[in-house]
A and B are shown apart, each in its own frame.
Chain A
Amino acid sequence: MTVMLNVENARKTFTMHLQGGILLPVVQGVSFQVTAGECVVLSGPSGAGKSSILKMIFGNYRCDGGRISVRHQGEMIDVAGAEPRLVLNARRQTIGYVSQFLRAVPRVAALDVVAEPLLMAGVARDEARARAGALLGRLNIPERLWSLPPSTFSGGEQQRVNIARGFISELPILLLDEPTASLDAANRAVVVDLIAAKKQAGVAMIAIVHDDDIRAQIADRTVDVTTFAAAA
C-alpha cells in the first residue's frame, strides 16, 4: 500500500511567554503512518493533543522536532521543515482539513465557501458551484440558505458547510477534526457515507471522533494519543 503520511517522532511544546515563559509540553514521539484508502482515528481524552497533531500535519502549528512526511505530487515532503510556499501548495493539491469549527469569511455565500477549493484547483466557476450545490443538498442544507453567508447559520449548519468544503475537492489526504460532533443522526450517516466514498477513492484520512458508534463505522485503525504524552 502507498504510504501517504508518515509521522516520525514529532514533538510539540508551547512556550507561554505571557505567563512567565512556562512550558506546556503537548506531545512527543508521535509516530504513525497512514496509507492510501485508510482511515486512522486518533483517540485520547480531552487535552491529549489530538487536534494539535492534525494542525501540525496541516502546517498550522509548528513542529518542534521529528518529521511529518506527506506524499505531495508523487514525492515525500517534510511539512515540518517546508517553506510556507510549499505548505500552501500542499494544501491546494494534497491535504484537506475539516476543522472543528468553520472560520467564516464575512459576506461570502455558503455556496461560494464550498466551491472555493475547486476554484483554486482550476475548476470552472459554474461547475464548481454546481458541485457545491449538490454536496450541500446531500448534507440537507436547504437551497434558500446557499446564497447567504454562513456566519448566521446554526452550529450544525455551519459544521455541514465546513464538511462540504472539506469533502468537495479530490485531495489525496483528509484531516477530520470531530466532523460529526454537532450533527443529528441523519447527517452523521451522510458523513459516514462520504467517508466511505473517500476510502473507495483511495484517500488517506486521519480523523478525531468521540462517538464510539461512528468510530466503529469509519476506523480502519486507532492510534492512542496518550502513548505520546509529553513529560511535564
Chain B
Amino acid sequence: MVEVTGASDQPLLVAEGLTKSYGRLAACRDVSFVLYPGEVLAIVGESGSGKSTLLQMLSAQLAPSGGRVSYRMRDGVLRDLAELGEAERRFLFRTDWGYVHQDPAQGLRMAVSAGANVGERLMAVGWNNYGRIRQTASSWLERVEIDVARIDDAPRTYSGGMRQRLQIARNLVTEPRLVFMDEPTGGLDVSVQARLLDLMRSLVNELGLAAIVVTHDLAVARLLSHRVMVMKEGRVIETGLTDQVLDDPREPYTQLLVSSILPA
C-alpha cells in the first residue's frame, strides 16, 4: 500500500484508549482514532451513547479515566494534552481550537455586542488596534451572513440561527486548525438548519479546517463529514468513510439508525 505524501501526512490529533467512568457507568469505553489536518469526523449515535463525553475529553475539558489524547502543536510536536502547561492549554482554547456549543448562550457573551463577541477572541491573542479589530469583526459577520448593521447589537436580540452563526464567527476569527462542535444545528428549525449547514460546509472547505462534529442527525454527518464513528453504549461500533457507512451500514445498530431517517 502506498502512502500518499503531503503536508497532511502527520496526524493532528490522536486518541488512544479513551475511557470515562462515572461510578459503575462507563460513559465512554476504549475509543481510539487518528484525525488528520483538514479532516471532518462526525460522531453519531443515540442519546446517552457517550458522544458529548468523548468530545469533552478530546477538547481537554474532561479528564479521562483511562487513555490519552495527543495534539500536534503549531511547532509540529505531538503532545499529550494531560501534560500541557496552563499557558499552552490557554493558547489552544483561545487560538488553535474552536468549540461550537449546541446552545449559543454557552459559547457567546449574550449581553455584549456582536462585534465585541468576535473582537474579544482577537484581543485575547494580542490584537490591540481597535479599527482593525472592528473591521475584521465586520468582515466575519458578513461571512456568516449577518447584516453588518447589527454589529453593535447584543446577541440576546438575535434569532437562534443568527446566534449560532455569530458563535461560528467568534470561533473561526482566530483561524483555528481544529473545531469541536456539539450538535451545532440542534434546536434550530429545519430551514434555519439547512442554511447553517451550507455555511459550515463552505467555511470548512475554504479554510481547510479539521473538525469533530457530534450530531444525532445523519443528514448533518453526510453533508459535513469525511468520516463517521457510530457510538453505542459508550463504544465505537462502526467507523469508516461517511458515505460508505451511511449507504452500506454493516452493524445491526447502524442499519437501524440509517433506516430510521429520510434519505439525505
Contact = CB atoms under 8 A, between A and B. Distances in A.
B255 A75 contact: no
A159 B236 CA distance: 37
A77 B247 contact: no
Interface string B220-264: 000100110000000000001101100110111001100100001
Given A73-B2, A82-B1, A107-B194, A87 B252 contact: no
Interface residues of B, number: 26
Interface string A78-96: 1001101111110000000
Nearest to B243: A60
20 contacts: A14-B248, A15-B250, A18-B255, A60-B241, A61-B244, A62-B244, A73-B2, A73-B4, A77-B2, A84-B227, A84-B240, A85-B226, A86-B4, A87-B241, A89-B4, A105-B223, A106-B194, A106-B197, A107-B194, A108-B198
A139 to B, nearest CB: 25
A55 interface: yes
Contact of A61 (B195, B223, B247): B247
B161 to A, nearest CB: 14
A70 B257 CA distance: 32
Interface of B: 1-2, 4, 36, 39, 194-195, 197-198, 201, 223, 226-227, 240-241, 243-244, 247-248, 250-252, 255-256, 259, 264
A17 B249 CA distance: 10
A59 B244 contact: yes
Contact of B252 (A14, A17, A73, A85): A17
Interface string A56-82: 000111100000000011010110011
A81 B259 CA distance: 26
| Chain A CB within 10 Å, residue with most, of B197, B227, B244 | B244
Contacts of B251: 17
Contacts of B227: 84
B195 A107 contact: yes
Contacts of B241: 59-60, 84, 87-88
Nearest to A75: B2
Contacts of A18: 252, 255-256, 259
A82 B259 CA distance: 26
Contact of A60 (B223, B226, B248): B248
A107 B226 CA distance: 20
Interface in A163-221: none
B247 A55 contact: yes
Contacts of B36: 85
Contacts of A105: 198, 201, 223
Contacts of A61: 244, 247-248
B250 A85 contact: no
A205 to B, nearest CB: 21
B219 to A, nearest CB: 10
A84 B240 CA distance: 6
Contacts of A88: 226, 241
Nearest to B248: A61
Contacts of A89: 4
Interface in A8-60: 14-18, 55, 59-60
